[in-house]
Amino acid sequence: MKPESIIRLPGGRVIGPGQPCFIVAEIGNNHQGDMELARAMVREAAQAGAHAVKFQKRDMSAMFTEAGRQAPCSGPNCFGPTYGSHRLALELSIEEMAELKALAESLGLAFFASAWDMPSLRQVIGLGVPLLKIGSADLVNIPLLRKAGASGIPLILSTGMSSQEDVDAAVAELRRFHDDIVLLHCNSTYPCPDELVGLPVMAALAARHGLPVGYSGHERGLGPSVAAVALGACVLERHFTLDRTMRGTDHQASLDPQGLAELVRLVGEAEAAMRLTCKEVAGSELAASLKLRKSIVFARDLPAGHVLTEADLAAKCPGDGVSPIHWDRAVGMTLAAPVRHDEQFRWELALDAKHGGSNAVNVARAAVSD
């Protein structure tokens, strides 16, 4: 991954490797086409600690054929008698999205959207968004990819429903314009069973393309999303709702405000747990080390001149003496003075026959430097 593989957003936020995970509340169409509900969702996302809200924009005539728009829509999650009327009922106008963008930014959130067709993409670009999202459904939509890439706006690309060949082709197309791309690993099953999440795919995408990676999760719980952050996701997107029992296909795979706040908390804990990258003794461990680690002690009273055997030594708490990690060096030394049972072994009490009778203090210094 190139060090420059980061995206800088207005306000100073940075997306990329080594940066705090960028948490996106995907509102999508969970607002049900209701601006009052949409405003409430933006406010709740900010309160929960998200960094961005994302919406979706569609133009029915551009997205669907006439037959597709007129296809019957039935069932409890339909908002109209045909699929076109159903989708239209869930839409917000671009003017309403502009209002929501202003609200989000006033609350410290980034606002962006996924556009599902050319007219919608032009409208979303016209909002002056800091990011563009290309949903999994459009990863293979070459004309849309070209339009999005030519905008010069940093891109987040979801990879659900895609083969590796599909992803390769999309990335190659977008890279004709720039490299400000984040790949989101995704399984487009709503909700997605944990065993189909496939988090190791993130590392494979990063290695193959040299781009920042993230995770767009559709699972019911929080575990895979938190694990994704521990595995290096620099963007984490979860669908968001105010009520998981509402009508609609996305609500069951969405987080409510309490769930989103819990996710933000757990992500913070996971990131804190990843900061230390080398094995060392922490200052907070020293007291425990002195109390619980062991020191070499004498197992019985012994006279001067005695050559120490394993039977003459023991390892006992506290750990403020010579560590038993030096056990093999102590065995075979000759006592320079008499010692008592349970007295701690000290280097100055012994001579080392293996080093021509030299004082054991010098041997100990050599041991520490080894």
Is 199 in the same domain as 332?
Answer: no
Residue 356 has pLDDT above 70, yes or no: no
Q: Token digits for 274? A: 């990843």
Is 253 in the same domain as 322?
Answer: no
Q: Token digits for 370? A: 């080894």
Q: How many domains does the chain have?
A: 2
Is 187 in the same domain as 305?
Answer: no
Strands (E), 116-180: 132-134, 155-158
Is 118 in the same domain as 19?
Answer: yes
Average pLDDT of 52-77? 92
Q: What is the pLDDT at residue 366?
A: 47
Whether 262 is covered by a domain: the verdict is yes
How far, in Å, CA of 349 to CA of 305, rounded? 10
Give this prediction's pTM. Answer: 0.87
Is 287 in the same domain as 157?
Answer: no
How far, in Å, CA of 25 to CA of 71, rounded? 31
Q: What is the pLDDT of residues 81-114, one digit of tens each?
A: 998 898 888 899 999 999 999 999 999 999 999 9
How far, in Å, CA of 290 to CA of 318, rounded? 6
The answer to whether the Cα torsion of 126, 132, 133, 134 is positive or negative is positive
Q: What is the DSSP letter of 110?
A: E
Q: What is the pLDDT at residue 364?
A: 47
Average pLDDT of 286-291? 93
Q: What is the pLDDT at residue 260?
A: 97
DSSP strand pairing (313-316 vs 295-298): antiparallel
Residue 7 has pLDDT above 70, yes or no: yes
Q: What is the pLDDT of residues 228-245, one digit of tens each?
A: 999 999 999 999 999 998
Q: What is the pLDDT of residues 261-276, one digit of tens each?
A: 999 999 999 999 999 9
Residue numbers of the domain that contains 323: 283-369
Is 22 in the same domain as 110?
Answer: yes
Q: What is the pLDDT of residues 162-194, one digit of tens each?
A: 999 999 999 999 999 999 999 999 999 989 999
CATH code where residue 345 lies: 3.90.1210.10
How far, in Å, CA of 178 to CA of 30, rounded? 32
How far, in Å, CA of 213 to CA of 233, rounded? 6
Instruction: Tell me what the pLDDT averaged over the chain comes to.
Output: 92
Average pLDDT of 124-150? 97
How far, in Å, CA of 70 to CA of 84, rounded? 6
Is 49 in the same domain as 167?
Answer: yes
Residue ending a domain, among 234, 250, 273, is 273
Residue recorded with tokens 């908002």: 79
Residue ending a domain, among 220, 243, 273, is 273
Is 172 in the same domain as 255?
Answer: yes
Residue ending a domain, among 255, 273, 291, is 273
Kindly indicate the confidence band of residue 370, based on its pLDDT and cuts at 50, 70 and 90.
very low
Whether 1 is covered by a domain: the verdict is no
CATH code where residue 224 lies: 3.20.20.70
Is 84 in the same domain as 207?
Answer: yes
Is 226 in the same domain as 356?
Answer: no
Whether 313 is covered by a domain: the verdict is yes
Whether 278 is covered by a domain: the verdict is no
> Under a CB-based contact definition with an 8 Å cutoff, are residues 55 and 113 in contact?
yes
DSSP strand pairing (358-359 vs 181-186): unpaired
Please report, as a single letter, which amino acid is at residue 118. M
Whether 2 is covered by a domain: the verdict is no
